[in-house]
Structure 1
Amino acid sequence: MLKYLINQSRVSLAGASLVTVFHGACSVLLVAQISSALTAAEPERGTMALIFIATAIAVMLSYVGAAILFERLGQRANAELRRFVAQRVLAADYRQLESIGSARIQSALAEHSTRVAEFFVSFPVILMNAVIVAGCLLYMAWLSWQVFLLALVVVGLGSVGYHLAHLRAIRHLDIAANEQDQLFSYFRSLTDGAKELRLNRHKRKAFYDEVLSSSIETVRRERTFGMSVFVASGGWAQFLLYAFIGMVLFALVSDGPDRVLIMTGYALVFVYMIGPLEALLLSIPRANMAQVSAERIDEITQAMVTSEVQTDGSSSPALQSIALQGVLHRYYHEQSDELFTLGPIDLDFRPGEITFLVGGNGSGKTTLAKLLVGLYPPEEGRIVLNGSVVDESNRDRYRQLFSTVFSDFHLFDRLLEVGTADLDREGNRLLAKLHLQNKVKVQNGAFSTLALSQGQRKRLALVIAYLENRPFFLFDEWAADQDPVFKEVFYRELLPELRAMGKAILVISHDDRYFHLADRLVRMESGCLTFNSRGPMKDSATKNSGTAPPLALGSIV
């Protein structure tokens, strides 16, 4: 993480560091001038005043310049780090994202990125404080090397105590960071599970008392203890510094011509040095918290590797045929609590054909759909597009053939993937066709609202898929939450329209009263194809269904 941020901000970091070093040097020089002015003779004071004014102006200007550079560097570092994580998420294999989980990714993009960026931009501050402390120590050595040696011992004892304390504190900060990742998922449950929590008082109370509140308390307790250890060790270090000042003033400096200068210089420099030294010590817990966060980000981003070549933006090839040949995939199956094997599957798809995929819950229909569209690479077998095998070199380009509405679809607030000139008019026409014109409108390529029911959101997702106008359409239980009138529109109007446009269509469905409308019916059970029929199944289904013949286009809406 640090190397990445440095590479992205070399010029800004170098400029901030130079200004910071200059500010630290001027600050030490200013303190030395104050100490000298307290014991200087009257004839020298005029010249010293001019030097003092120039130095004070330099300190002010360098402070303002450094502060502005810090702010710019901090905001840029945070933005670059979030871009880095976001780009890795966008390029990662879909299975890896499912394994990592959205809560950990959100935590990396939010809190962990902020901590790493904050510590990254504190490097110039650390450098400034280090310059001030080093300059103060050199000035004290010039005043009296004997007292300077004792000063090193005091500073060393304070630093060692601080280091030993942080070894214990970091364990608690690490526990808090791990719990923080889990807490993000609980925060999401507050909104995603709002209906269930409001309908069940006992569940609501148990979720708050035993889950959410407990997690919040764990983060609070571990962080408080860890930071308290740092504060206590900082207090001990501060006591040592003041004790040293007392020894200098009342015991160590003997009578001599420079006694007043040495006492004044040591007391003034040590009091001034406490702030920068304390800031250096306080950077240790920030460094450790940033280290923990950086490790989390590294762990997450390193798990998001991909061997696929990203699409270059060129148009997708025309769809002639897609064939799954011996495709096999294994995954953990929750219902059976064992490793589930899907396949081997042999299946082909053609343009201008409607295929219904049916089967019981947990039979592998959605997993097969994810394999088909390229979200999962097959563990065995192959997918063939227009006679060419789909592999890592072209899988991302292959995915661009599909418009999908999965059961767990996500709606963006604008039409990101569509670039037609007449986008608003066509989008609003489709919204009217699906009776959404009074709920949402397309304005400048964006939706006026997404506050819709689940059925309405699915209809809106259908509009987006339709506007994408890709060669292959996949619908996963789209009609499950729809009223009968919209099921009729979907099965009897939209699907035939897409077929007439030459689209290949796969519909995962349980609506057996519409099976006769398919060109082909495919049935899955326990991960295997048990039925695959074109033509005759459609005719027999029509005879036995007892349903009316298909309605003409436009007869419903």
Structure 2
Amino acid sequence: MSLLSAGLGVGVIAFINQRLIEVGSMAALPQFLGLLAVLLAVTLSTQLALTVLGHHFVFDLRSRLVKRILDTDIERLEQLGNATLLASLSSDVRNITIGFVRLPELIQGVVLTLASVAYLAWLSPQMVVITVVWIAFTMGVGWVLVSRVYRHFRLVRESEDSLYKDFQAAIEGRKELALNRDRARRFYDERYTANARDYRHHIIRADTYHLSANNWSNIMMLGAIGVVFFL
């Protein structure tokens, strides 16, 4: 369905170029609207199917993880620590699910890009060279930005473990901390705050590079369209 959606996306581009721009006939407008409706239906069906499949995937993955925890020796569980296990069951599974559900966008993007380049090559071989160089430069800068995102996400994951330990300590040790306010203050000021600030620092950096990569690619693709029409 993702491949079909990408193919329909290329078909819409070709239809706009050949029927709406070159011919300019009002008779082509109903066909164009029908093509858009089919594209919308197929794309929405693809994403909904992957969403449902993704949530079933989360259910199965979490169930297997819980089953493994129940079947694991106490010594091994204590060695791993509750914080690591909780992070695996929550944030790790959530991140895997996000990647799983976003898979159709990757497939559609790759197919759409290759098909569009092939269509452009049929229109003008010289234009393909310029477009490919432009896209390669865009991807090169984007790769640098995304690599920074991954680096900070790894540090975010490490900070999450520390925060889960802090949450666990605050909940399980609430009686002791309530009896000793100095210890509670030191725990909050020296341990929790430091780990929370570390998490905040890396998640802001990761989001900044992620947004920069998104905006860079979107703006450069608009630039590519402008260059193609200009030339």
TM-score (norm 1): 0.39
Answering whether residue 178 of structure 2 is matched by residue 204 of structure 1, we say no
Divergent runs of 4+, >4 A: none
Closer, same or farther in 2 for the Cα pair 1:154/1:58, shift >3 Å? same
* Correspondence for 2:3: 21
Q: Decide which of 118, 127, 138 is 1:138's aligned counterpart.
A: 118
What does 1:339-488 correspond to in 2, within 5 Å?
A: none
Closer, same or farther in 2 for the Cα pair 1:118/1:247, shift >3 Å? closer
* Correspondence for 1:128: 108
Higher RCO (C-alpha under 8 Å, 6+ residues apart): 2
Inter-partner Cα distance in structure 2 for 1:99 and 1:33: 61
For residues 80-113 of structure 1, the C-alpha deviation after alignment (integer angstroms, 9 at most, x for no partner) is 1111211211111221111111111111011101
What does 1:116-515 correspond to in 2, within 5 Å?
A: 116-250=96-230, 252=231
Inter-partner Cα distance in structure 2 for 1:38 and 1:112: 48
Inter-partner Cα distance in structure 1 for 2:223 and 2:36: 30
Q: Decide which of 69, 84, 102 is 1:104's aligned counterpart.
A: 84
Higher fraction of strand: 1
Answering whether residue 23 of structure 2 is matched by residue 40 of structure 1, we say yes
Tell me the number of residue pairs that the alignment of Structure 1 and Structure 2 aligns.
230
* Correspondence for 2:54: 74
Inter-partner Cα distance in structure 2 for 1:167 and 1:129: 20
Inter-partner Cα distance in structure 1 for 2:220 and 2:91: 35
Inter-partner Cα distance in structure 1 for 2:39 and 2:82: 47
Amino acid aligned to 1:63 = T
For residues 252-282 of structure 1, the C-alpha deviation after alignment (integer angstroms, 9 at most, x for no partner) is 2xxxxxxxxxxxxxxxxxxxxxxxxxxxxxx
For residues 231-268 of structure 1, the C-alpha deviation after alignment (integer angstroms, 9 at most, x for no partner) is 33443344433333343344x2xxxxxxxxxxxxxxxx
For residues 365-420 of structure 1, the C-alpha deviation after alignment (integer angstroms, 9 at most, x for no partner) is xxxxxxxxxxxxxxxxxxxxxxxxxxxxxxxxxxxxxxxxxxxxxxxxxxxxxxxx
Q: How far apart are residue 76 of structure 1 and its match?
A: 0.9
Inter-partner Cα distance in structure 2 for 1:234 and 1:222: 18
Higher fraction of helix: 2
Answering whether residue 64 of structure 2 is matched by residue 84 of structure 1, we say yes
* Correspondence for 1:421: none
Inter-partner Cα distance in structure 1 for 2:125 and 2:90: 49
Closer, same or farther in 2 for the Cα pair 1:120/1:24, shift >3 Å? same
Inter-partner Cα distance in structure 1 for 2:42 and 2:225: 30
Identity of aligned residues (%): 22
Contact 1:23 1:58 in 2 (8 A): no
Amino acid aligned to 1:40 = V
Higher Cα radius of gyration: 1
Contact 1:170 1:226 in 2 (8 A): yes
Closer, same or farther in 2 for the Cα pair 1:112/1:205, shift >3 Å? same
Q: How far apart are residue 41 of structure 1 and its match?
A: 5.0
CA RMSD of aligned residues (A): 2.1
Inter-partner Cα distance in structure 2 for 1:129 and 1:23: 10
Structure 1 gaps of 5+ residues are: 1-18, 253-557
What does 1:56-71 correspond to in 2, within 5 Å?
A: 56-71=36-51
Contact 2:47 2:101 in 1 (8 A): no
Amino acid aligned to 1:25 = G
For residues 9-29 of structure 1, the C-alpha deviation after alignment (integer angstroms, 9 at most, x for no partner) is xxxxxxxxxx12111211221
Contact 2:65 2:89 in 1 (8 A): yes
Inter-partner Cα distance in structure 2 for 1:128 and 1:238: 16
Inter-partner Cα distance in structure 2 for 1:172 and 1:41: 50
Q: How far apart are residue 50 of structure 1 and its match?
A: 4.8
Q: How far apart are residue 64 of structure 1 and its match?
A: 2.7
Inter-partner Cα distance in structure 1 for 2:70 and 2:194: 33
Inter-partner Cα distance in structure 1 for 2:169 and 2:187: 10
Structure 2 gaps of 5+ residues are: none
